[in-house]
Amino acid sequence: MNRILPVVVALCGACGVDSEATVVAPEAPFAVTSGGLGALPTSPLPDIPSIERDLVLVKANGALSRPHVPPFKTTQDGRLALTNEGKLYVNRPEGLTQHVLDGPPGTSLTSEVGSAQLALSSVVVPLANAALPGASLDMTAMCDPTPNQPRPGQPRNPYPCGPGQRSDCYDVTVVVSLLGPSTSSGALRKALLSGLPVTIEVADPKTPQARIVRAQPGPPSFGPVLSVRDLFEPVVTEDGRLLVTRVSNTDLKWPDDQGTLRSGVSHDTAYSVYDERFAPCDVTRWTQLWPLTHAPYHRAVRSRYGFAKYPFRDPEGNLIADGDRFKGTYPWMDRGGKNVFFTTVAASLYYLDAQGQPRSKYEAACLPGVTCNTQPTLQDIQVMQGTWPYQHMGVAGLWTHGKMVSVDSVLSHLDFPLFSGASQQRMLKLFTPGTGPATVADQSGWVQAGSGRASVLRPLSSSNGEMIESLESLFAFNPNFATRSPRDVVWLMSNGKATDEVEFDDYLDLDTLIFADMRASLTQDDPGYFGNNQRMHYRDGFRYDFAQGWNHRGEGFVGEKRLQNAATTLRLKTPAFGRLTSDPGYSSRIEPMALGGIKGKGLWLDSGSRVTWTLEPQPALTSQDWYVALFVDQRQTFQGDAADLLTFPNGGKVLTFNAQYVGYLSPQNELFFVALPPALAHQDKRYNHYAFALQDGGRRVDFYLNGLLFWTVQDDAPILAMGPGALVLGKSGARQGFRGWVDEVKVVARVPDAELACNHARGSLVGLTGPSPELSRALRYPPSTHAGISQALARRSRPTYAAYACHHDTLAPDGAPRRASVGVRLTQDFRFPEGPLVWSAPRPDSTGNAFCLTCHAAGQVGGLGLGALTRGTTPLIADPRRQPSMWPAFQSGNFPANFLAPGVPASHVTLAPPGVQGFDLWLFK
């Protein structure tokens, strides 16, 4: 590697004024109103981001603006989907002609053709009224206890049926929640669960022509009458014995494991569970409701379900006590009960100022050509944004070690609960006009804030924008459902408005100290927050004084700003959050929409602003090598001066020079810097990925540029070193700080291999052979970089190549490649060199696989221990262990010829349980 000799230079100590020229903004294509919709006075707005996203999601006419997988409850194979209203659809991945995220707006996965409506009002309601007079239908759930591994004599869906046994039949239980008549505001009401057995026949199964030809209900059963405020969003795990539901501010009375009857706390989310000795899907067994936070302390739950293996913590790491309120809502649990998903953020666009006048947090206008009320009353505001302002998808459970994390994606696209009507959506002035890159067509600085809450009932979707579901990896064998993200643990997830890939790798990583995805943090218990009894405090800096009902009084963005640390490991003492502060006259912003970032939200840093993470004393800080990475989109114009990008606890700094140079300033005042070739580093208002590997106590620093090692510096004294104290992003001292967009700051206690370093840059490592523009760019990296990757491949007994590239696209809406278009993708060569998997052979031993050990370790629970990595004792096809991104091992029913690929299978196959077909036999030859 290249060793750069130290150069001592004089650095500007008073650079704080941005010298960027003023740009005359084009006139906005609509009228900007004032008065009641006027925003607070603010500092200059951020520059226009480089990535354009359509975040309207639900248009004014109710149509979706993006491809969508509806958030319906499905059977275990994902092929039958159930709506809240009791309608059944067939999911047909074989009918997709392009990737599910690249299709036309709306859903291409299913259609109204071949759907079926269950007559719940005539089959269930009349009988329910005998136990609960005045009962009405509310919501439904699917209960299909089909095991992943076949067991002798156990029923399994689907099974062959119909003419010539060429149809697929399912025996499922539709769980229906029913509510009694409404009572006075705040009072409990009566509720009831019904279990409706239904046999469903699908003709031409697993083909683009699949359709329901029969949906035959049987006699319903009924559970006990429950006293709750609501019984919304029920969901049942794959074993058919755990029910999770929303009870909406109900003071539950529940026994703990010591038999003590507890109450006195208002709960939104609850569960019910019964013993494995009893048959699944039996609503008569769900007799007791417990608050969700009790699950980790409930032996009958934590011994069986991954989501309860760890006590819950809030996004700042604060323990949520047994029986305390779980301050998320709209729960959904994955099929295996590993994680619970929910909505997290309570925020609104409108509030009341000190004089009681309605205000908007940002300058707002009506949609072009639409008349809306520019002087809204409180009643208008409630119509505009509803009275239940929860937004953003969160997750907690096994894969987050119990910590609640607000997920950064299009599923968390908007802070505000605006409805989708034309007069309810708004244009917001979020950016400084004329500051975007040339690739951005709209330079006005105005953005349409579309539907953030719910929408009108429309075909093939949910009327509630906050409903959550995922097909997990059920269809991962289909190329049009294969994940595009270069990460390993990825699920396609949906709410009622959008579908996106959610990556769990950084939550699972045991060595991640900081993962700042540039979302505002959330505090579980803040007595000074007006909504503390029901919701977490959203730390975007807006200060509310109090609320009268939903009439929020606020002071403006004068409160503390905190950035979420989405690292969840318990191995390290992770900082609770990053604190965002600014010098007088400067202002940075935590984004209200999923704009400005690589995946979702980004952070705008002004040159007088900083984020500070406080690192607690711990042995790893000085004993480990460290990897520090971030995306930067620099918007400064320098006159030979530098800006602080990162300041380490030892006082060493990373400096930037207008995206043309990167340098280090050591505590000894030695400056090391390197030019960034335009062929490798974007210098036109686009994101670059910078990463720094600190080794030998910080005496050696490797610099990775857009995913590949570019520059190495070694010195006799530490240059950049970790330790107790402050890690600072942005201004730290007299010199000006970085100005621009920043995203995905990661601090990891190890140096990644070449593939994982490329993954952190949202790329995939590829091997290059013949001449190409990609090869020409790759050869701008040092020869030692390519030699090092070849050596790593040789150690794994894998083929090597002349050169390597980190294939990525920072202008794609998600910043990820669409599969390597050049070269040979090397992912499995690095992640699974002991492979490949073969259906008839045992799973190979992976206990020495460094990549697997980033998430698996001795003492980890729920499948994350080392037992998941040991050599198999049976052929793969009989091994119950599955990686999260793998499809189910077994399927049953009918398989058409060429189902998976030409000749696979060669002819139609019909298999009845227990003669199920192992996909591994077809796919892992």
pLDDT at 52: 87
Confidence band for 545, pLDDT divided at 50, 70 and 90:
confident
pLDDT at 864: 96
- DSSP code at position 776: H
β-sheet bridge partners, residue 217: 198
The CA-to-CA distance between both ends of the chain, in Å, stands at 42
What span, in angstroms and rounded, lies between the C-alpha atoms of 604 and 611? 11
- pLDDT at residue 13 tops 50: no
Give 383: exposed, middle or buried? Use CB within 10 Å, 0-12, 13-18, 19+.
middle
Is the pLDDT higher at 461 or at 668?
A: 668
pLDDT tens digits, one per residue of 634-663: 998 665 679 999 999 999 999 998 778 999
β-sheet bridge partners, residue 472: 492
How far does CA 791 lie from the centroid of its chain?
35
- SS3 label, residue 150: coil
In this structure, are residues 340 and 431 in contact, taking their beta carbons and an 8 Å threshold?
Answer: no
For residue 332, the tally of other CB atoms under 10 A from its CB is 23
pLDDT at 389: 67
Confidence band for 390, pLDDT divided at 50, 70 and 90:
confident
Structure tokens at 324: 């305390």
Q: Between vectors from CA 719 to CA 715 and to CA 725, what angle results, nearest 5°? A: 150
- Percent of the chain exceeding pLDDT 90 equals 72
What span, in angstroms and rounded, lies between the C-alpha atoms of 645 and 628? 12
Mean pLDDT of 378-401: 84
Rounded to two decimals, what is the model's pTM?
0.94
Q: Between vectors from CA 511 to CA 509 and to CA 514, what angle results, nearest 5°? A: 90
For residue 855, the tally of other CB atoms under 10 A from its CB is 22
pLDDT at 456: 63
For residue 126, the tally of other CB atoms under 10 A from its CB is 10
What span, in angstroms and rounded, lies between the C-alpha atoms of 518 and 814? 15
- Residue reference for tokens 């490798």: 680
Mean pLDDT of 219-238: 95
pLDDT tens digits, one per residue of 229-258: 999 999 999 999 999 999 999 999 999 999
What span, in angstroms and rounded, lies between the C-alpha atoms of 105 and 107? 7
- pLDDT at residue 127 tops 90: yes
Q: Which residues of 905-925 are buried (b: 16+ CB within 10 A; e: fewer)?
A: beeeebbebeebbbbbbbbbe
Please state the φ and ψ torsions of residue 869, each to the nearest 5 degrees. -105, -5
pLDDT at 915: 66
pLDDT tens digits, one per residue of 712-755: 999 999 999 999 999 999 999 999 999 999 999 999 999 999 99
* Window from 461-465, 506-510, 573-577 with minimum mean pLDDT: 461-465
pLDDT tens digits, one per residue of 56-103: 998 888 888 999 999 999 999 999 999 988 999 999 999 999 999 999
What span, in angstroms and rounded, lies between the C-alpha atoms of 5 and 716? 11
Please state the φ and ψ torsions of residue 610, each to the nearest 5 degrees. -155, 155
pLDDT at 25: 26
pLDDT tens digits, one per residue of 768-794: 988 888 899 999 999 999 999 999 999
β-sheet bridge partners, residue 664: 654, 672
Q: Kindly provide the residue ranges of all beta strands, DSSP E only, lying in 311-363, ordered along the sequence.
A: 329-333, 339-346, 350-352, 358-360
pLDDT at 379: 78
Confidence band for 816, pLDDT divided at 50, 70 and 90:
low
> Whole-number mean pLDDT of the chain?
89
Is the pLDDT higher at 152 or at 818?
A: 152
- Percent of the chain exceeding pLDDT 70 equals 91
pLDDT at 455: 61
pLDDT tens digits, one per residue of 96-112: 999 999 999 999 999 99
pLDDT at 35: 31
Q: How big, in percent rounded to 5, are the helix, strand and coil portions of the chain? A: 10, 30, 55
For residue 298, the tally of other CB atoms under 10 A from its CB is 19
- SS3 label, residue 498: coil
Pairing of the two strands 189-203 and 211-217: antiparallel
pLDDT at 42: 45
